[in-house]
Amino acid sequence: MENEGSYVALGLKVWKTQIGRADKLFGSLSSEEVLREIAPGRNRLLYLWGHLTATHDAMLPLLGLGERLHPELDAAFISTPDKSKADIPSHDQVRRAWNVVNAELWKGFEKMSWSDWLARHTAVSEEDFAKDASRNRFAILLSRTNHLSYHLGQAVLGLK
Amino acid sequence: MENEGSYVALGLKVWKTQIGRADKLFGSLSSEEVLREIAPGRNRLLYLWGHLTATHDAMLPLLGLGERLHPELDAAFISTPDKSKADIPSHDQVRRAWNVVNAELWKGFEKMSWSDWLARHTAVSEEDFAKDASRNRFAILLSRTNHLSYHLGQAVLGLK
């Protein structure tokens, strides 16, 4: 049991580190800077930020931690590419949603026991989970952390 | 013990997935394409590929899996930024090193027991490890996987 806690603690530590980097990177941007493209013709920083926020929001039901807080973000940041809509959530809306969603996730993580992480996530049926037990909550944590790192690598290109 | 194996297996699965994505992305490039910048004035794809190869090579001693196979890569891809040297390893040299290093790492991973992953990595002293047991080999696996994802997010921008 002691060892199991170690693995989970490490997964959470890496998540927290990447969230901290994203907080610092996106949090430092002015409302003008957030509209910068990461490279000519590519996604804007605000789009990446909103995309990450929507993805993290969807982790709440996926990990059984509660209802989504900001499902409205998907229309602008998941189902459509950047610059396909004239009207997307504002800098302020994304910043607030980012902070609220990540705080809610962390609150949920802290309540989860070590073995909770090995339980199935809600997008897999009990039947499918019986065939492949790797489709669990810890897998979601690791893959979403890597998703965050992937887009952080891109966002940093838009900084200067 | 069964549960401990699950966490390690998940960590390895995410590593393998990201390596597979990198294999596909970098492996598809011609010797001309590999010299493309990911964005104007930014790193070239070959630099990112070499940087990842050197970083992975350094994991061999860090995880106690053996000596480095390609320490010579550091001069071009770790200690100096891209385009600071006229002469860097060729496309072919990087591709070969990438394949050899990742194969060697995987061979080592397969020999490690679940509890090996919670042992200290070799860059931390026994004394420091006694104070902070999170400085272990599983932490290296997770952080290097995220490092790979970070640069994959950048490399994909250089594809077209």
pLDDT in tens, B93-143: 999 999 999 999 999 999 999 889 999 999 999 999 999 999 999 999 999
Domains, chain B, ordered by start: 2-158 (1.20.120.450)
CA pseudo-torsion sign B77, B79, B81, B85: negative
Contact A149 B147 (CB under 8 A): yes
Mean pLDDT estimate for chain A? 95
How long, in residues, is chain B? 160
Q: Is the dihedral of CA B96, B97, B101, B104 positive or negative?
A: positive
ipTM higher than the 0.90 cut: yes
Contact of A89 with A97, CB cutoff 8 Å: yes
Q: Does B20 touch chain A (CB under 8 A)?
A: no
Residues from chain B that touch A39, judged by Cβ atoms under 8 A, are 38-40, 42, 157
Contacts of A114 in chain B (CB under 8 A): 3
- Indicate the pLDDT class of residue B80, thresholds 50, 70 and 90: very high
Whether B130 contacts chain A with CB within 8 A: no
Q: Where are the alpha helices (DSSP H) in B2-136?
A: 2-27, 45-62, 73-77, 91-111, 126-131
Confidence of residue A1 (pLDDT cuts 50, 70, 90): very low
**B111 vs A22, B117, B124, CA distance in Å?**
35, 11, 22
Q: What is the pLDDT of residue A63?
A: 98
Q: How far apart are CA B58 and CA B97, in angstroms?
A: 12
Nearest to B3 among A40, A118, A152 (CB): A118
CA distances from B45 to B39, B49, B100 (A): 10, 6, 19
Residue A2's pLDDT is 64
Task: Please indicate if any CB of chain A lies within 8 Å of the CB of B159.
Answer: no
A97: Cβ contacts below 8 Å, ≥ 6 apart: A50, A53, A57, A69, A70, A73, A89
- Return the C-alpha torsion angle A92, A98, A104, A105, nearest 10: 180
Q: What percent of chain A has pLDDT over 90?
A: 92
pLDDT per position as a tens digit, B9-66? 999 999 999 999 999 999 999 999 999 999 999 999 999 999 999 999 999 999 999 9
DSSP 3-state of B120: strand
pLDDT at A102 over 90: yes
Which residue in the set B7, B151, B153 is minimally distant from A138, CB to CB?
B7
Among B136, B39, B58, smallest CA distance to B97 is for B58
Tell me the three state secondary structure of residue A136.
strand
Query: How far, in whole angstroms, is CA B14 from its chain's centroid?
Result: 13
B6/A134 CB distance under 8 A: yes
Higher pLDDT, A83 or A4: A83
Mean local confidence (pLDDT), A96-118: 96
Contacts from B15-19 at CB under 8 Å and sequence distance 24+?
Answer: B15/B109, B15/B141, B15/B144, B15/B145, B15/B148, B16/B106, B18/A146, B18/B145, B18/B148, B18/B149, B18/B152, B19/B102, B19/B148
Q: Quick one: pLDDT at residue B160?
A: 73
pLDDT at residue B145 tops 80: yes
